[in-house]
């Protein structure tokens, strides 16, 4: 099971939903970055369950402990280990699911792959695995902020409801994390209504990175958008990724889509901040499609490990719509991808011939 | 510049558009796979330029030579090197572009990254780089066919025109590679009309993989769909990726989206053949958004390396719509991703505890 | 800082000598391997400080906690995290060394590389980092034992004293871990005498792996002996590696060195169990040179971070000869290397053409 | 089969002894390095067979062609492909060996691993594979020379004959590549005498790297000496590696071995230029043990693929002692290792806190 992401700046996450702890190792972090438990906690608190009525009611304080790699408030260049203990794991909620393949979950495929399964709360396939991503992402964010880059994600669609405005400060002031003042309460209402019906809703999260230097990413296999796609599609429940105009580009003509350059810089940004796999210096804009959570209260039919048909109802505490909590995870994966590309670029840019624009 | 894709079965491509040759090294291929130059050529011929009026008119026979790794018609387990010599490189077509940043191209970003640039036909950022991918993909396809898996891609959208039918044999019988008999000629006409106008069109390519065993892919960072996203987004001009219902999943409810299992297997396949990052055994269905080619005949305004504004017109021979030629490249990246996951699965499945369904 | 070793079966260690904990993530472990904290503890106890008069007197119980990847006594295929809390860290022992470059230590080079330094007990460059290696190695050992392979290391030289006999059970019955009954007490006496003099001694550790299947390792860059060399040379204080006849092969003729094969198998094993980078099925025999520990009580002259000459004496509790405690670490790195090669071989052997000897 | 070495600066070699070509892809090379075919040829000519009476008499001009990555005499940052065609492959020399396991060769292990085998001249396990290493190493050397580092290897032992002097310019003026004027002719005579007897000789090659900046290498798994060990042990026939005092360190006391620092720098260099896995700035000195070539003219007994005992005599043209031709390969692997570490150091050193010595 590969739990590692990145090339020079790498993370490896660990931990099951109902095990004693989840966490991450961040390796390759440059020295001299100011990092404290509080800095990491800030992002973890945004991912934490039980924040509002639109998220799962599991109560986890998700307090991070830094086990290594930080000395007297700064990174030393050494491997950073971050651990979060779990406290509110109610494994008994899952005892009736021990031998059942829940539809839309990884139960069946995990069983096919490994032949064993930690059935408690999806084990390793749980969204709880993302605690480690968010913790490491907070440090990657600090690396990026050191060069003036800023990453924010927000919910732009819930079910049929699509945000128009992009008031980014507002996005962190409502439980749905929607940047549209008019749409946010409607989205919240839709999620609550869906939960009352025992059902769940999908949505779309947009990621915006500003201040990213030009020149990050590689032109062939490690195109910056390909790396972002890998990182963001590795988040559970994400079913699609697009950069810039994305699928809308299919309907455009070249004369429309080509971002014209002037002496003042790019006149448009249909490309979404990346050309030929390398950042242009313009804002990087990407979107991910988030499926409705598989865990719903409505009784469902399925089969068990013996191939017998069964009906079951899920009793655990679950998110009725994942978007609000995918937001910090999407930010984390974006920060990690960009910081890794930044480090790799540092490795070559000192060699760059001096004849420049 | 990372030109490597894959973990156990890896490719590394090389070559510039107007250099002497392009090619690939395929490493990690299992021994005993029947491989000939003809087998590789079959896929290369489908990618070759000049196949029809809807592709670039550059004439390249793209004949492959196998330099290593195949002995007496079978792979030996050794590193496979495949080389294709270029013959019809008209570098003079690009002499007027030497110091110009073409809009929508990697010219500006490549310059920002490396400070030097092979301006002849985009150098390494050219679509010609994909020759190596397709050549290696043909061998990965042979590996997959050995376990009964089959991968096909086809054009499902060109501009506003969307295919309805999925007549897969027909897809290879028309120049657009569209699986819809009614829509194919309309798409072809639209492309030709766009080219006459000196412009270009975008589209969507769908990839279908059948017969893929359950259990491929990893549940965390190397989710099979995340790996596919990486591989397919690393193809130039691809701006979006989706699996199964993709972005349409944003509008679905959990009770709709969850693929119900019965004693006879999965009743639906909204997930697109992958659950929790691991293949289910159902067909894997993905789509990629392809932007309209940046190289258009219409004169465009831009700046040069000195920051001066310039107007220029592209004179090279270019594709008016990339979809028909992206099809074999998308198949190659899918074959490589799946074959790599298959090999990695082989590494663990012999350890699988024997208590199974 | 890369703290990762392995390709399919990987470890990433973390933790500083005087930080709150050290540990490791083991990824890629196959499912179904019986693993308990006791199994891991057994190897950790052999590495633990304070075992005897010939090791450092730091008192660390080194109790391991399994945080993930093991469920109901067997591995699940998921990422395994192992943590060991530190309790007897006397950082004040190091306060006088804060700005001094201790000779033979990584102080100066770490400073040159990172510009910061965790001066407490060498920080990340401490031998305490190997706790994670040994913990993960215990699980790799369990994987190997499942196929009948067995790995043991032992001290064959301390200073001028060279072991003749190879009584392997005896090696674990004396504090020096020497397999020669006559030599063990003499080695012990030499170490104690050296410690009384405030000095330290070097030595040689031999590693023997039996029951290793033929076919492990790759013939080019990842030759099995090259991987072993990487793994074993990555242990601090190791200055040399040799396989089979090693440096003695320089004096041999081909007609002597070539291991002749008969119908009954190999008649000799000068190669040390590996030919062309691939295991032969014969015992793998390697040796590593271990330098005398740099931390000695004798006052030494050096410079500090300001370039000023200084005299200092080390006050911490240190090993007078590293061999006895390098033994379990060398076993761990050997187990990890072999288990990784075993998994990679599993990935290809099912493809092997069926025409065999 | 992994044929890749390196992390940021990577090589992947390809080609069999008697296939149409051998070569290499070098990826991650920084832009702006002056590279020509002549520069690469210079190192290839030093590795070429048939240089003197003490090497194999196979006649290969080994002319390199640069297929990509170099434009107008400088590297562009793009993937560099280098190919060398083979011309003097006499496969018939090997027809009698088709089903025989030659002692000391990879025949048996390759067969065990892959179940197929390219029997012509050892196929992929041939020393001819190193053509790619040397070609890529020449470019890595150019990278290093840009920062003032210089790498040279030379023969310091042949059989019982050990060089005393280190007259490095002289090493390239005699066919044995020995830096000792008195010993060189004796070594040459010993090799010729051994060849006349149909036998072969082992030896030791020493590698010296000067001008290497302090700070290269990682303190844990990717210690610079561990990476060198990996790279050098991956050369066929190498049975041992040591750095600095190496195995002699086993007999030293800490008070002797610790390299004392003064205001003027290091007073000694017993460590061999690396402390704690990181370069000190002092010369890096390593040695490798080279076994006597397995291919000897003396008839030998062995078994064939059917388990039948056979006697055979090798008829191909072979090296009677590998040291002279291992020299350029050892330099190449050292250059590649150091250049990779240099690039990785560039990735982090710009982050280094500014408070320095």
Looking at residue D253, the DSSP 8-state letter turns out to be: B
Report chain A's C-alpha Rg in angstroms: 21
Q: Residue D144: what pLDDT? A: 97
Provide the pLDDT confidence category of residue D27 given band limits of 50, 70 and 90.
Answer: very high
User: What is the average pLDDT across A10-28?
Assistant: 96
Handedness of CA B267, B273, B278, B280 (dihedral sign): positive
Residue C34 DSSP code? B
CB distance B130 to B329 below 8 Å: yes
Q: Residue C64 phi/psi, 5° resolution? A: -90, 145
Exposed, middle or buried: residue C313 (CB in 10 Å: 0-12, 13-18, 19+)? Answer: exposed
Residue D356 pLDDT exceeds 60: no
**Which residues 89-118 of C have a C-beta within 8 angstroms of A?**
113-118
* B117 contacts in chain D (CB < 8 Å): 76
**Alpha-carbon torsion B125, B129, B134, B139, what sign?**
negative
CB contact under 8 A, A13 and C115: no
* Strand C150-158, strand C70-71: pairing: unpaired
The helix/strand/coil state of C108 is helix
DSSP E strand stretches across C112-268: 150-158, 161-162, 203-210, 238-243, 261-262, 265-266
Average pLDDT over residues B7-32: 95
Cα(B52)–Cα(B195) distance, integer angstroms: 13
- Compare C314 and D170 and report the one with higher pLDDT: D170
pLDDT given for residue A166 in this prediction:
98
**C344 interaction partners in chain B (CB closer than 8 Å):** 8, 347
Q: Of B18-22, B74-78, B322-326, D351-355, which range is least confident?
A: D351-355
Determine, yes or no, domain membership for D230: yes
The answer to whether residue C357 sits within a structural domain is no
Taking only the tens place, the pLDDT of each residue in A284-321 is 999 999 999 999 999 999 999 999 999 988 876 788 99
Asked, for residue A71, whether it belongs to a domain, the answer is yes
What's the confidence (pLDDT) of residue C352? 67
SS3 at position D328: helix
DSSP-derived 3-state class of residue C298: coil
Tell me how close the Cα of A76 comes to any Cα of chain B, in angstroms.
Answer: 26
Query: Is the minimum CB–CB distance between D219 and chain B shorter than 8 Å?
Result: no
pLDDT surpasses 80 at D355: no
Among D348, D349, D355, the residue to mutate for chain A (most A Cβ within 10 A): D348
If we measure between CA atoms, which residue out of C249, C278, C229, C248 comes closest to residue D321? C249
The verdict on D282 touching C (C-beta cutoff 8 Å) is: no
For residues B290-313, average pLDDT = 93
Joined together, the tokens standing for residue C160 give: 């001028």
**pLDDT attached to residue A91:** 64
- Given this model, what pLDDT does residue B355 score? 45
Output the pLDDT for position D117. 75
Count Cβ–Cβ pairs < 8 Å, chain A vs chain B.
Answer: 382
Task: Identify all chain D residues contacting A79, using CB atoms and an 8 Å cutoff.
Answer: 220
A14 touches chain B (CB under 8 A): no
CATH of the domain at D47: 3.60.150.10
Q: How does pLDDT run across B263-283, given as a tens digit for each residue?
A: 999 999 999 999 999 999 999
Lowest mean per-residue pLDDT among B348-357, C298-307, D322-331:
B348-357
pLDDT for B92: 66
Chain D positions in Cβ-Cβ contact with residue B65 (cut-off 8 Å): 20
State pLDDT tens for residues A81-118: 999 999 876 666 667 778 899 999 999 999 999 988 77
Instruction: Report the gap between the CA of C342 and the closest CA in chain A (Å).
Output: 16
The pLDDT assigned to A158 comes to 98
pLDDT tens by residue, D205-253 = 999 999 999 999 999 999 999 999 999 999 999 999 999 999 999 999 9
Residue A357 lies in a domain: no
How confident is the model at residue C357, as a pLDDT?
37
Of the candidates A31, A127, A146, A125, the one whose C-alpha atom is nearest the C-alpha of residue A326 is A127
Partner residue facing B202 (CB), from A251, A274, A348: A251
Residue count (chain D) = 357
pLDDT of residue D20: 94
- Strands in C89-179 per DSSP E: 150-158, 161-162
pLDDT-derived band of residue A352, with 50, 70 and 90 as boundaries?
Answer: low
**Inside any domain, residue B287:** yes
First to last CA, chain B: 45
Cα gap A268→A250, rounded to integer Å: 18
Q: Residue B315: count other Cβ atoms within 10 Å of its Cβ.
A: 15
Label residue B119 exposed, middle or buried (CB < 10 Å: 0-12, 13-18, 19+): buried
Q: Do A239 and B245 touch (CB under 8 A)?
A: yes
Q: Are B106 and A219 in contact (CB under 8 A)?
A: yes
Can you give the pLDDT at residue B25? 98
The mean of the pLDDT values for chain B is 93
* pTM for this prediction: 0.97
Percent of chain B with pLDDT over 90: 82
Do the Cβ atoms of A253 and A356 come closer than 8 Å? no
Model pLDDT, residue B175: 96
CA B143 to chain centre: 18
**Would you tell me how many other CB atoms lie within 10 Å of the CB of residue C213?**
18
Measured in degrees and rounded to the nearest 5, phi and psi for residue D286 equal: -135, 160
- Taking the CA atoms of A234, A133, A189 and A166 in sequence, report the sign of the dihedral they define: negative
Interface test with D, best of C275, C287, C332 (most D CBs within 10 A): C275
Q: Is residue A354 part of a domain?
A: no
**Chain C partners within 8 Å of B77 (Cβ):** 348
Asked if the structure places residue A356 within a domain, the reply is: no
**Confidence (pLDDT) at A93:** 66
DSSP per residue, D190-221 = HHHHHHHTT--B-EEEEEEEESPPTT-S-SST
Strand duo A265-266 + A261-262: pairing: antiparallel
The answer to whether C51 touches C61, Cβ cutoff 8 Å, is no
The secondary structure of chain B, three-state, reads CCCEECCCCEEEEECCCCCCEEEEEEECCCCCCECCHHHHHHHHHHHCCCCCCCCCCCCCCCCEEEEECEECCEECCCCEEEEEECCCCCHHHHHHHCCECCCCCCHHHHHHHHCCCCCHHHHHHCHHHHHHHHHHHHHHHHHHHCCCCEEEEEEEEECCEECCCCCHHHHCCCCCCCCCCCHHHHHHHHHHHHHHCCCCECEEEEEEEECCCCCCCCCCCCCHHHHHHHHHHCCCCEEEEEECCHHHHHHCEHHHHCCCEECCEECCCCCCCEECCEECCCCEEEEEEECCCCCCCCCEEEEECCCCEEEECCCCCCCCECHHHHHHHHHHHHHHHHHHHHHHHHHHHCCCCCCCC
Residue contact B8–C74, C-beta within 8 A: no
**What is the ipTM for the molecules in this complex?**
0.96
| pLDDT value of position C91 | 64
Position C167 in a domain: yes
CB-side neighbour CA atoms (13 Å) of A59: 0
Residue contact A31–D346, C-beta within 8 A: no
Q: Considering only CB atoms, which chain B residues are within 8 Å of C219?
A: 78
Nearest-Cα residue of chain C relative to residue D156: C250
For A75, name the nearest residue in chain C, comparing CA atoms only.
Answer: C116
Strands A203-210 and A284-290: antiparallel
What range defines the domain where residue B22 resides?
A: 4-349
Divide the 357 residues of chain C into consecutive groups of 10 and give the mean pLDDT of each group: 94 94 97 96 92 81 95 94 88 75 93 83 87 98 97 98 98 97 98 95 98 96 98 98 98 97 95 98 98 95 92 83 97 98 91 53
Q: Please tell me the predicted confidence (pLDDT) of residue B91.
A: 64
**What is the tens place of the pLDDT at every residue in A166-210?**
999 999 999 999 999 999 999 999 999 999 999 999 999 999 999
Residue B79 tokens read as 């590193």
Upper half-sphere CA count for residue C233 (Cβ side, 13 Å): 37
In this predicted model, what pLDDT tens digit does every residue of D272-302 receive, in sequence order? 999 999 999 999 999 999 999 999 999 999 9
Q: Which residue of D has its CA nearest to C236?
A: D276
Chain C residues close to B352, C-beta within 8 Å: 30-32
From D355's Cα to the closest Cα of chain B, the distance in A is 29
Residues pairing with C71 in the sheet: C74
Residue B356, pLDDT above cutoff 70: no
Structural domain count of chain D = 1
Q: Which chains touch D (3 or more CB pairs under 8 A)?
A: A, B, C
Percent of chain A with pLDDT over 90: 81
Tell me the chain B residues in contact with residue C28 when contact means C-beta distances shorter than 8 Å: 348
Q: How many beta carbons lie within 10 A of that of residue B148, not counting itself?
A: 10
**Separation between Cα atoms, residue D166 and residue C357, nearest integer Å:** 50
Q: Are strands C80-85 and D238-243 parallel, antiparallel or unpaired?
A: unpaired
User: Three-class SS string for chain A?
Assistant: CCCEECCCCEEEEECCCCCCEEEEEEECCCCCCECCHHHHHHHHHHHCCCCCCCCCCCCCCCCEEEEECEECCEECCCCEEEEEECCCCCHHHHHHHCCECCCCCCHHHHHHHHCCCCCHHHHHHCHHHHHHHHHHHHHHHHHHHCCCCEEEEEEEEECCEECCCCCHHHHCCCCCCCCCCCHHHHHHHHHHHHHHCCCCECEEEEEEEECCCCCCCCCCCCCHHHHHHHHHHCCCCEEEEEECCHHHHHHCEHHHHCCCEECCEECCCCCCCEECCEECCCCEEEEEEECCCCCCCCCEEEEECCCCEEEECCCCCCCCECHHHHHHHHHHHHHHHHHHHHHHHHHHHCCCCCCCC
Altogether, the residues listed in chain A come to a count of: 357
Name the band, by pLDDT with cuts 50, 70 and 90, for residue A134.
very high
Question: Which residue would you say has higher pLDDT here, C122 or D75?
Answer: D75
């Amino acid at each position: 099971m590969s739990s590692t992401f990145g090339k020079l700046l790498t993370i490896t996450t660990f931990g099951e939903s109902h095990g004693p702890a989840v966490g991450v190792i961040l390796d390759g972090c440059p020295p001299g970055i100011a990092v404290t438990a509080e800095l990491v906690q800030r992002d973890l608190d945004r991912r934490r369950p039980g924040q509002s009525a639109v998220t799962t009611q599991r109560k986890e304080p998700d307090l991070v402990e830094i086990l290594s790699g930080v000395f007297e408030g700064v990174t030393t260049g050494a491997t950073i280990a971050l651990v979060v203990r779990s406290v509110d794991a109610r494994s008994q909620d899952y005892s009736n699911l021990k031998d059942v393949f829940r539809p839309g979950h990884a139960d069946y495929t995990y069983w096919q792959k490994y032949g064993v399964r930690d059935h408690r709360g999806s084990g390793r396939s749980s969204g709880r695995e993302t605690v480690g991503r968010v913790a490491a992402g907070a440090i990657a964010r600090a690396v990026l902020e050191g060069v003036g880059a800023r990453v924010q994600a927000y919910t732009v669609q819930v079910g049929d409801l699509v945000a128009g405005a992009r008031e980014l400060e507002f996005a962190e002031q409502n439980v749905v994390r929607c940047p549209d003042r008019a749409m946010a309460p409607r989205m919240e209402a839709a999620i609550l209504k869906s939960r009352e019906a025992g059902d769940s809703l999908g949505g779309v999260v947009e990621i915006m990175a500003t201040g990213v230097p030009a020149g990050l990413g590689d032109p062939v296999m490690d195109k910056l958008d390909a790396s972002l796609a890998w990182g963001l599609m590795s988040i559970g429940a994400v079913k699609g990724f697009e950069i810039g105009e994305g699928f809308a580009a299919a309907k455009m003509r070249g004369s429309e889509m080509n971002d014209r350059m002037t002496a003042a810089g790019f006149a448009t940004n249909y490309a979404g901040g990346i050309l030929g796999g390398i950042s242009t210096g313009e804002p990087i804009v990407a979107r991910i499609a988030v499926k409705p959570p598989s865990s719903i209260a409505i009784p469902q039919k399925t089969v068990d490990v013996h191939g017998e048909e069964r009906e079951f109802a899920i009793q655990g505490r679950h998110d009725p719509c994942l978007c609000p909590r995918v937001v910090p995870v999407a930010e984390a994966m974006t920060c990690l991808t960009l910081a890794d590309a930044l480090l790799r670029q540092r490795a070559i840019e000192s060699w760059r011939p001096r004849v420049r624009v």
